[in-house]
Amino acid sequence: MLLRQGTAEVNNKILLESIKSDIQLQLKELGVTTSGINVEMNSKNISLNIGIRCLSRRLRQLQFNAN
């Protein structure tokens, strides 16, 4: 049981890193500079916290939640 749980946690981390990488790449292709992307996942949803550098050089935090 513990081995399965550990494997699931590793798979979840790999999935989250893949999501993060894909988002950074797509935003970069659009010319958007990100200052950081935090991705968290629990049993019910995935939460993204994306820092975006705007033309005014101020940092805005956008949070997206998906069920």
Residue 3 vs residue 44, higher pLDDT: 44
Q: Where are the domains of the chain?
A: 2-66
User: Quick check: 54 pLDDT over 80?
Assistant: no
Q: What value does the mean pLDDT of the chain take?
A: 71
Handedness of CA 2, 41, 35, 17 (dihedral sign): positive
Look at domain 2-66 and name its CATH class: alpha beta
Q: Report pLDDT for 58.
A: 45
The stretch 41-62 carries a mean pLDDT of 66
- Stated pTM of the model: 0.58
Q: What is the pLDDT of residues 5-19, one digit of tens each?
A: 567 677 778 888 888
pLDDT number for residue 67: 43
CA angle 32/35/37 to nearest 5° reads: 95
